[in-house]
Chains A and B, each alone.
Chain A
């Protein structure tokens, strides 16, 4: 499936279309809908309907139209500003560090391929297996000076207990380190694969011209994989903006240190479950959904990472 890995150039619809596709007969149409119908139903019920129903809920309560009341109430909630600030700070810290880690490791691995390359990739990737509450548990241990293998480092930073490490603004630092450890590996594999798929003659030409390893990376390789870099950045932005699990679980290890409405999604969760205010929960989660949809839309239309048409098959 290696042919699937390169971003697709905008191909003209010159590839010969398969004649069968264009001949429609009733029996075949029926067969197609038997194949695709159940999935389509699930797409509608669990992909589109939730968004539609949330939209309805945010405007209508007990059958009467409430207009923008819920939206205004969310906007005027003092907790929203705090939560948005937390998530923004987290993204500003996490995204650059993640990108730098992914780029530097993928390029360093690619500069001199060796037997250790795949072993190292696996080591970088394995933390991705411990996610969710297990990851939060693991990193609670990592920031507890009693037990952490990083305790000299923690001493250096003056951290005396896990509660210390999770108080005030340092939650964001812990989340950042955790987020890099969990997510970097997968992207390193993706980017390294993209680098491996680059045409060899271009890289050789750079070498013949006497370009240093550094210049080759900066002026030849990086521009050629920039779609991937954009992809990493946009999808990480989308998933990072939805942060929920990590602050939720981390707060159980250091009670009282992390607000239950620390992130925007946590606030929406509190609306839905603690306050039982579905209208406000719907409005806020729709706003967050819009962020995700926008990011997905940019990926599809700008990066050409995904094949949406069969005419560009090879």
Chain B
């Protein structure tokens, strides 16, 4: 490779890194600065940690600390959905991988179909169904649909099929273990890494979901952080000064901090679980 083409290659990769990285770097720095400094200073300066504290106290004073309520809601909904999803996915993936039963092929195909289907495509039909059941506005209208997680089933299915030898199960059968016992005492302990991966992806999905809670929930005290962020933007004009109420102490640094809090669990998770992540992406190509 000539020096010229190597130079072009490095330039291209770094240029792309700037495009992808710069917005995040800005988001990381913005809460450390004051609103004035953000508009007049250099775009990528560092302010002070004290400013972060100020921005946070402004945020928590918004509507009597609604932001902490939203964070709590996000955590509760996501945890409940992931826990329920694991209870459903792991046994189903195991049965699909290790047992033959009537309807197995149909169940697997339907799972893959619904997994590839963009989640947004089912949101409005789900809303109509939930209205008919009179469940809209309740936490169940968010938690229950989110705990149907076909991608998790597919990951569990792949894992058990590739990594759990039939001979191991047969040995257990010879020892007189029941089928359920085999699942619980042999399969589950060996699948811990896969279960962690499913939990991680499930959490990412629940935490970032916007459309479903947006359609289902109307009371802002039941909002997730993602929804709260939008209502914060709507009522304060933190981004665009031409709208909203200027007397609230919510400006660019506060909005940036709220956005950062919304992204933080995933940013941290992505950095910590890099190798993990690659496996999952390759196995089923989650569209997140």
A-to-B contact residues, CB < 8 Å:
1-5, 18, 20-22, 24, 27-29, 31-36, 38-40, 42-43, 45-51, 53-54, 57, 101, 104-105, 108-109, 111-112, 116, 118, 120, 122-134, 136-142, 144, 146-151, 161-163, 181, 183-186, 189-190, 193-194, 213, 231, 235-236, 238-239, 241-245, 248-249, 252-255, 265, 268-269, 272-273, 278, 281-282, 285-286, 288-289, 291-293, 295-297, 299-300, 305-310, 313-314
- Assess A141 versus B252: contact at CB under 8 Å? Given A130-B263, A190-B285, A273-B215: yes
> Can you sample 20 A-B contacts with CB below 8 Å?
A20-B170, A31-B178, A32-B99, A33-B101, A47-B148, A53-B125, A54-B128, A132-B210, A133-B226, A138-B259, A141-B27, A141-B252, A162-B240, A186-B285, A186-B288, A189-B281, A242-B118, A285-B128, A289-B122, A309-B108
Would you call B239 and A162 a contact (CB within 8 A)? Answer: yes
Category for how many chain B residues contact A: 35 or more
Would you call B162 and A50 a contact (CB within 8 A)? Answer: no
Residues of the B chain whose Cβ atoms lie less than 8 Å from the Cβ of A292:
117-118, 121
Would you call A126 and B39 a contact (CB within 8 A)? Answer: no
3 closest A-B pairs by CB:
A31-B179, A50-B125, A39-B92
Of all chain A residues, the one with the shortest Cβ separation from B283 is A4
Residues of the A chain whose Cβ atoms lie less than 8 Å from the Cβ of B281:
186, 189-190, 193
Would you call A133 and B227 a contact (CB within 8 A)? Answer: yes
Binding site of A, secondary structure by majority: helix, strand, loop or mixed?
helix
> A289 to B116, alpha carbons, bound, how many Å?
12
Within the complex, the shortest CB–CB distance from A272 to chain B, in Å, comes to 6
Binary interface encoding of chain B residues 92-130 relative to chain A, with 1 for a CB under 8 A from any of its CBs, else 0: 101111111100010111111110111011111111110
Within the complex, the shortest CB–CB distance from A195 to chain B, in Å, comes to 11
- Assess A238 versus B43: contact at CB under 8 Å? Given A122-B274, A123-B20, A193-B282: no
Would you call B128 and A307 a contact (CB within 8 A)? Answer: no
Say yes or no: is B17 at the interface (Cβ < 8 Å to chain A).
Answer: yes
Would you call B233 and A272 a contact (CB within 8 A)? Answer: no
> A138 to B22, alpha carbons, bound, how many Å?
11
Would you call B20 and A130 a contact (CB within 8 A)? Answer: no
> A51 to B127, alpha carbons, bound, how many Å?
11
Residues of the A chain whose Cβ atoms lie less than 8 Å from the Cβ of B76:
none
Give the contacts of B244-284 with A (CB-CB under 8 A). Answer: 252, 255-256, 258-259, 262-263, 266-267, 269-271, 274, 277-279, 281-284
Would you call A142 and B23 a contact (CB within 8 A)? Answer: yes
Binds A, one of B8-16, B47-55, B57-65: B8-16
Binary interface encoding of chain B residues 121-165 relative to chain A, with 1 for a CB under 8 A from any of its CBs, else 0: 111111111011000000000001101101001100011011100
Within the complex, the shortest CB–CB distance from B219 to chain A, in Å, comes to 14
Q: Which of A138, A235, A253 contacts B240 (CB 8 A)?
A: A253
Would you call A313 and B161 a contact (CB within 8 A)? Answer: yes
B-to-A contact residues, CB < 8 Å:
1, 9, 12-13, 16-17, 19-27, 30, 38-39, 43-44, 87-89, 91-92, 94-101, 105, 107-114, 116-118, 120-129, 131-132, 144-145, 147-148, 150, 153-154, 158-159, 161-163, 166, 169-170, 173, 178-180, 183, 208-211, 214-215, 226-227, 229-230, 233-234, 239-240, 242-243, 252, 255-256, 258-259, 262-263, 266-267, 269-271, 274, 277-279, 281-288
Q: A36-B95, A105-B13, A252-B234 are in contact. List 9 more A-B contacts (CB 8 A).
A: A32-B179, A47-B122, A125-B270, A148-B26, A213-B1, A235-B285, A265-B120, A300-B116, A305-B285
- Assess A281 versus B180: contact at CB under 8 Å? Given A130-B262, A300-B113, A309-B105: no
Would you call A39 and B259 a contact (CB within 8 A)? Answer: no
Q: Which of A4, A161, A242 contacts B120 (CB 8 A)?
A: A242
- Assess A151 versus B230: contact at CB under 8 Å? Given A39-B91, A108-B12, A242-B118: no
Residues of the B chain whose Cβ atoms lie less than 8 Å from the Cβ of A286:
125
Residues of the B chain whose Cβ atoms lie less than 8 Å from the Cβ of A150:
22
Within the complex, the shortest CB–CB distance from B46 to chain A, in Å, comes to 13
Would you call A281 and B128 a contact (CB within 8 A)? Answer: yes
Residues of the B chain whose Cβ atoms lie less than 8 Å from the Cβ of A265:
120, 123-124
- Assess A46 versus B1: contact at CB under 8 Å? Given A126-B21, A282-B125, A295-B116: no
